[in-house]
Structure 1
Amino acid sequence: MAMIECAAGTKLHEVGQKVETVEIILKGSIRMNVGEDGVELKQGSIVGLTESPGGNFAFSYEASTDATVYSYPFTCHEDLEKILYVNQKIAPSITVQSIRNAVDFYNLYFHLKQKVEDNYKWVLEKKKNYPELCLETGTQQEEYPELEELTAPPTPTSVEHWNVAYMNMVHDYEDRFLSQVYTLGSAMCAGMVFSAGSFMDNIEEAVQEELAYQEEFVRLTNRFRIAIQNLEAKKKGVATGGNSNVDVPVMKDILEQIIIYPTQGTFSDEDAALLRQLMKQYASVKERGETSDEMRGLRRKITDVFYRLYEAVFLKAITDANMPSIIRMFLMFGVLDERVVKEEDLQVLFRYASAYMPDPNGKIMTVYEWLGKIYRMEENPSRNEFDLDYPSQLREDVRNGDITEAQEQQMLNDPKCRLQFELRNFFAIGNRMTFGRVSAFIPVFDACNCLMPLDKAYASIHRVQEEMDRIRSIDYNIFEREYTYHNEDVGIPQLPVHKEVFPYIILMPNFGSRAVLWQEIEGKKRTSPGRMMVPIFDVEDLGDSVTKMCGEFRWEMCKTEQGIHWNDLSDPSLTAEYSDYLQYYRKNSNLSQDQREKLKKDLQKAGNNYRRVFVADYYTYITFEAKGALRLNKVSRDIIFHYCPFADEVRKALAANPTYQEHINKHQGRVSQKARPLANIIKKMQNTQVPVPKELMREYELLQK
């Protein structure tokens, strides 16, 4: 035992030092350092109350002010009891201070925990927005594989709610405890001090978990956090007109640079001269968006030569490891001539092109990337406007005498012929369709078509994926395809199961207003991905466009699966029931007179096209009904929910809605009926130690959705 004088800043104990003594603070204050924070231990406090005798100090202790402490041996916890008996006069004060320190320690832990959780949420949010931030600043995306190792913050088990509430209450009523409880004797004081010490031990365990997590968090996120800080500073510079640190060159004579880029002979001198003349004429027109016969004729001529140039540029770019940014801007956005593009838009387009990163899932891509897959024979060309695929069109050409059978065989696997077929059909027609305003269409990027700021319209891979994920979170089985699974090794001759087949989504190089389903499957294989188109700059709400496109997919996929029976009510399906509903709505007793009148107008507006009416209702179903805003009539709601049931989370949110209770109960009944035999098969395999195939487990999990 000894009296110790400590000048401010003196280290009383270091982390890792063996615990042999505890101290009572007689004057001044000692700081218990906990990470970057700490607890101020004031007069009457026990220094080391949360430490284990004979162990190592978990925290360091440092004099915050000039302080005087009395040191006692600390070989076991009973030594604390002896200290209180020796100091009976000040034992109540020591007890009060012990409770205060315990509560302060908990508050420190609570704020540390909150900080850790906030930092984790911050990283998740920044990770989600990272692609957009790169696009806005024209920065090439980097990979951060270390972020995949990041886990959620720990959930404490040592700190129990009742204990926290108890300590807070003792602290809140410390005056009453001091006058009525602690004065009962040293035994009462010892009990309360031990209680505070035990509470602090539990907090220490939780604090150490948080500190360990924080250290690992810093290690895993340091590189990413620095990158985000730099990008946000760069974004601020761009937004305020400052230096964005993006090296955007002065872009002049873009047309000439693109014309001379292709390999000699792939783009004729005649076409080059024609395009120069046409673009000069086009750029000189003030009202380039007008739909006069003269302007439509001019745009048509430019369109014809544009696609010939695109083919020639593509054939060079596909093997060019150092593709110039201007060429990338042409292939991605249709940028051809700076005379019809605003200077500030050119800079934004340059940043977008420079920062572009392919979809890691390989499903959402620019049209240039898609044409590359066709050219490299990774995918077959799409159907043409007559719904003929490439081999079928070649056979038709043979029958018509346009080509010979020998030419057919040669062209079937000729990369350039396949490319030209895709350019003439999927690209040229799809580009016009997604543009929306057919009479004003031109494939060249033109400022007159920019109906909103580029950053608001840009349909980046990240944004498109978010919208598709939103649809899947509501219409959970939209892309599920049924197939027959068989595995004789585990005693399954055949079993119908599903797998998700996400479609290809191609970003078309225009400033358009419509997302389009081109085809729901490839060829005749029903488990092949569909092909969808989205304008790379969408003047409409991207979410609305994608929702309507998915409605088209629902309709066409059902027609494909049903074949000639797609509108045959004897073989019930989405299209059959909806067609029957629309055909005989006048006699439907489940519809009010107002609903019949509305349906009559809807059909007139859709040109009596049943698919269009369904797509409009599907949009309402996803956008409003899923949120509990009832807009559909009973008949349409019944049909759509039956074939496009909401996901589990949406169903739970709607469970209290009387309109949906019956639908949800029926759905649960259908699911249970399907899941029961599958669950029996899985249980039987598990009981006999037979590995359950992942296809069966996935099917069972799908049914739970």
Structure 2
Amino acid sequence: MFLLGQDSGEPILIWPEFSWNSVINGTIFLVAVLLTAYLVQRYIRRKNSLSKEYKNRILTKLQLHKFHSKDIPLFHSFLDQVSDTDLRRLAEDPAWYRRYFLPEFLQFLADQSNRPAWKDILTIHSLDHLIEDHKGHPKNFITAILKTDSEEIFPALIKSQELDANSLHKELKAVIYTKKGNSPLSLSRYGKIQVLIPNESKRWFRSEAILISQEGNSLNLQIQTSPELDPKIDEDWTDTVKANSIWKDPAVPEEYKNSLLQILEYSGLNASHQGEIVRLVGIFKEHPGLLRRQHKEEDYKILIHLYKACFIKFRAHKASVPKSVLLFLYYFFLDEELFPAKRIKELENAISNFQSSISDLQYSEAKFSIHFFPDWLNLILAGKKKPSKNQLGQSYEQAKKSELRWNQTLEEENLQNKEYLSHILDWELENLLSHGLASISLSPNLSYPISSEDQFYGLTEDNLAFPNHILTQSEKVLKIDPSLFQRQLNDIHSPSRDLETFSKREMYADCILLPYAGNRGILWQDSVEENQSYCRILFPMILGEKLNLIVTKVLGEFRWETERTLRGNKWKEPTPASITSEYFDYIENFRRNPHLTVEAKKRVEQQWEKTGKNIKDMFSIDYANWILMEAEGKPRLNRIAREILSRFVPIQIKPTP
């Protein structure tokens, strides 16, 4: 009806008139978009091309072919994080090495906490003799190690052309670089420092010095004695592994030849899995550090699958296990070409020493049980220990329940069922072997399962976590902190409000030695059953840090986490006062604290940044300084941190000699 009512002289639909303006505007817009995309792409290509060119020019000047293959990835990692502007400066400035590269590279090495400080200095020492461009410029700095009377060591640059008899009683400026996870240098004025410098032949010479003043990382030192050879340091700090010297050692015992093939044959894995593992080990031998940076999840899974296959067979037939397989289960040893023959034999002998050290232990105060990883897996499969929690704090049952559909039921616990045992074995391997690997390293990007000679420095026994050494250090800490394994709590269910009653909670810890290299311990979980707390602590089998520091720091973490768990959501509340609430308040307000000097605030800020603003790690460092340094009369903490720890962990401080 509407259509019939329209005027027949007017069109029903009116088409718009054609206009070139819309076509032209659309074309201009499209061309502009395409041109912008082209220019951006061209700019990015040119930028990447220039960056690559600058990097190649810098790498050519560094002469990396004269370094060991395990050190080469460090240079690549450093240049990857340098901005394009700085890359150009490093490539074109005649004074690029001493003015820009050296200070920044030393800081980068300090952040790679998997390496000892003296190794950083030897790397710089080698660079000094390879770089030609800086010869036309005066050598204003020498590289050195500063060592305190408490065995703390710091890489440093000392502003001097040479340290000799003419340097006596002169005041020299120095810049120190604090390793990641360590506390900054904190010495009182006129505190004694040893200055250790390698000579042309990389022999270590020692001079005595005193601290005149300190501002942040900048020091003023006065040299007290002429440099003299330090025989002990010279022996301990020698990089005995030369390039390509260990890959084909004719002295390897017969039973360790073709170790990788022995391990693969023992595992019974299929041919495709074996081929992939051979490929991974081959790449690792060529570029050990580079492979660790890549961090491929598939690599971990297949290596852990190999561990599972070997462990199952080892558990069933312990009597006939090849020695190479035994080293794999304890150290993740995979190839004899990654170690010199002497080290392999010492690692083999250490296994029997481990077992005897556990059987001979008679420690009743430190409530520690120490387990090698194969032994721990046996306890799990035998039902003597419950499977560990995952990173989210979920137990095995909780995680499996969350995966169930509405019409499914939870798998019944049956230690006679092979399928159930396989599931809990996979669970334990995934949590402790896979996730635990990154946890026991201060630089997770450098962690990798395969063990090799580059993880060892000095004597083999000094690099391994012997159970008796762990418990001996725990006993020392316990003597200073007697309440370490006990907590006293207010009883909130007391029938009388007038009488304040308390309950005690006993703390126990299972210490599990993972078959990896690492430089820290980690509190993996804290479970409470009635009035007892059962914790699990992970330690690396191969140590990249001093054992007493690793143990003391993880016990500080143990004290912090157990205290926080017991207090629940009230761990930060000031009433009642606790070590967690007091320390939290200190960290939150140290910048505004009138009782801290400007220098003290700078040190706290520096340590806070180094720990990634993690209050637990911050506390564990201060706790270690309190136990290892302050108890010996060697001040390391500021006034506020010292007051907090003295209130909750009182110690009898020895007078300073």
Instruction: Give the TM-score taking structure 2 as reference length.
Output: 0.54
Provide Cα deviations, 1:66-97, integer angstroms capped at 9, x if missing partner: xxxxxxxxxxxxxxxxxxxxxxxxxxxxxxxx
1:268 to 241, 249, 270: 270
**Structure 1 residue 372 and structure 2 residue 370: aligned?**
no
Structure number having the greater helix percentage: 1
**Structure 1 residue 288 and structure 2 residue 288: aligned?**
yes
Residue in 1 that maps onto 2:300: 303
Separation in 1, partners of 2:530, 2:315: 29
**Structure 1 residue 322 and structure 2 residue 328: aligned?**
no
- Residues 460 and 618 of structure 1: CA distance in aligned 2, closer, same or farther (over 3 Å): same
Residue in 1 that maps onto 2:260: 255
**Structure 1 residue 570 and structure 2 residue 575: aligned?**
yes
Provide Cα deviations, 1:344-392, integer angstroms capped at 9, x if missing partner: 2111112122443162368112111111111111111111111212121
**Structure 1 residue 636 and structure 2 residue 633: aligned?**
no
Matched ranges for 1:162-173 at <5 A: none
**Stretch moving more, 591-600 or 501-510:** 591-600
Residue in 2 that maps onto 1:599: 604
What secondary structure is seen at the aligned counterpart in 2 of 1:318? helix
C-alpha displacement of 1:543: 0.6
What secondary structure is seen at the aligned counterpart in 2 of 1:533? strand
C-alpha displacement of 1:327: 2.2
1:441 to 422, 438, 447: 447
- Residues 271 and 640 of structure 1: CA distance in aligned 2, closer, same or farther (over 3 Å): same
2:616 to 611, 615, 620: 611
Separation in 1, partners of 2:490, 2:597: 43
Residue in 1 that maps onto 2:111: none
Matched ranges for 1:149-228 at <5 A: none
What secondary structure is seen at the aligned counterpart in 2 of 1:505? strand
Residue in 2 that maps onto 1:352: 350
What secondary structure is seen at the aligned counterpart in 1 of 2:403? helix
Separation in 2, partners of 1:448, 1:323: 30
Separation in 2, partners of 1:463, 1:409: 37
Residue in 2 that maps onto 1:421: 427
Residue in 2 that maps onto 1:338: 336
Residue in 1 that maps onto 2:555: 550
- Look up the equivalent residue of 1:598 and give its one-letter code: R
Structure of greater relative contact order (alpha carbons < 8 Å, 6+ residues apart):
2
1:381 to 365, 387, 405: 387
**Structure 1 residue 405 and structure 2 residue 403: aligned?**
no
Separation in 1, partners of 2:387, 2:590: 41
Matched ranges for 1:486-635 at <5 A: 496=502, 498=504, 501-519=507-525, 521-522=526-527, 527-635=532-640
Residue in 2 that maps onto 1:476: 482
Separation in 2, partners of 1:594, 1:441: 35
What secondary structure is seen at the aligned counterpart in 2 of 1:506? strand
What secondary structure is seen at the aligned counterpart in 1 of 2:328? helix
Separation in 2, partners of 1:251, 1:600: 50
C-alpha displacement of 1:432: 2.8
**Structure 1 residue 395 and structure 2 residue 401: aligned?**
yes
- Mapped contact 1:505–1:534 kept (Cα < 8 A): yes
**Structure 1 residue 277 and structure 2 residue 279: aligned?**
yes
- Residues 431 and 292 of structure 1: CA distance in aligned 2, closer, same or farther (over 3 Å): closer
- Mapped contact 1:412–1:418 kept (Cα < 8 A): no
What secondary structure is seen at the aligned counterpart in 2 of 1:591? coil
- Residues 622 and 302 of structure 1: CA distance in aligned 2, closer, same or farther (over 3 Å): same
Separation in 2, partners of 1:610, 1:478: 19
- Mapped contact 1:431–1:509 kept (Cα < 8 A): no
1:459 to 438, 453, 465: 465
What secondary structure is seen at the aligned counterpart in 2 of 1:629? coil
C-alpha displacement of 1:273: 2.8
Separation in 2, partners of 1:593, 1:356: 48
Separation in 2, partners of 1:292, 1:561: 38
Provide Cα deviations, 1:391-431, integer angstroms capped at 9, x if missing partner: 211122126x7x93244767998322111111101221112
Provide Cα deviations, 1:528-561, integer angstroms capped at 9, x if missing partner: 3311111112121111111111111111111101
Count of residue correspondences? 388
C-alpha displacement of 1:612: 2.5
Which has the higher Rg, Structure 1 or Structure 2? 1
Provide Cα deviations, 1:230-271, integer angstroms capped at 9, x if missing partner: xxxxxxxxxxxxxxxxx9654112122222224x5xx33331
**Stretch moving more, 322-331 or 585-594:** 585-594
- Mapped contact 1:433–1:516 kept (Cα < 8 A): yes
Provide Cα deviations, 1:487-514, integer angstroms capped at 9, x if missing partner: xxxxxx9974646534111112122212
C-alpha displacement of 1:565: 0.5
What secondary structure is seen at the aligned counterpart in 2 of 1:322? coil
Separation in 2, partners of 1:536, 1:381: 21
Provide Cα deviations, 1:607-655, integer angstroms capped at 9, x if missing partner: 3332222222111111111112232223222211222223xxx36x56x
Residue in 1 that maps onto 2:64: none
Matched ranges for 1:110-129 at <5 A: none
Separation in 2, partners of 1:345, 1:423: 27
Separation in 1, partners of 2:292, 2:562: 39
- Residues 282 and 588 of structure 1: CA distance in aligned 2, closer, same or farther (over 3 Å): closer
Residue segments in structure 1 that go unaligned for 5+ positions in a row:
1-246, 486-492, 658-705
- Look up the equivalent residue of 2:600 and give its one-letter code: Q
Separation in 2, partners of 1:329, 1:634: 48
Residue in 2 that maps onto 1:312: 309
Provide Cα deviations, 1:560-586, integer angstroms capped at 9, x if missing partner: 010011111133211111111221224
What secondary structure is seen at the aligned counterpart in 1 of 2:483? coil
- Mapped contact 1:377–1:415 kept (Cα < 8 A): no
Residue in 2 that maps onto 1:228: none
C-alpha displacement of 1:334: 0.7
Separation in 1, partners of 2:447, 2:610: 24
Separation in 2, partners of 1:462, 1:395: 40
- Mapped contact 1:434–1:512 kept (Cα < 8 A): yes
Task: Percent identity, please.
Answer: 24
Separation in 2, partners of 1:578, 1:613: 10
Separation in 2, partners of 1:478, 1:379: 23
Matched ranges for 1:42-191 at <5 A: none
Instruction: Give the TM-score taking structure 1 as reference length.
Output: 0.51
Separation in 1, partners of 2:542, 2:466: 9
- Mapped contact 1:517–1:552 kept (Cα < 8 A): yes
- Residues 301 and 453 of structure 1: CA distance in aligned 2, closer, same or farther (over 3 Å): farther
What secondary structure is seen at the aligned counterpart in 2 of 1:388? coil
- Residues 301 and 341 of structure 1: CA distance in aligned 2, closer, same or farther (over 3 Å): farther
Separation in 1, partners of 2:591, 2:289: 44
- Residues 626 and 408 of structure 1: CA distance in aligned 2, closer, same or farther (over 3 Å): same
What secondary structure is seen at the aligned counterpart in 2 of 1:405? coil
- Residues 571 and 332 of structure 1: CA distance in aligned 2, closer, same or farther (over 3 Å): same
- Mapped contact 2:608–2:614 kept (Cα < 8 A): yes
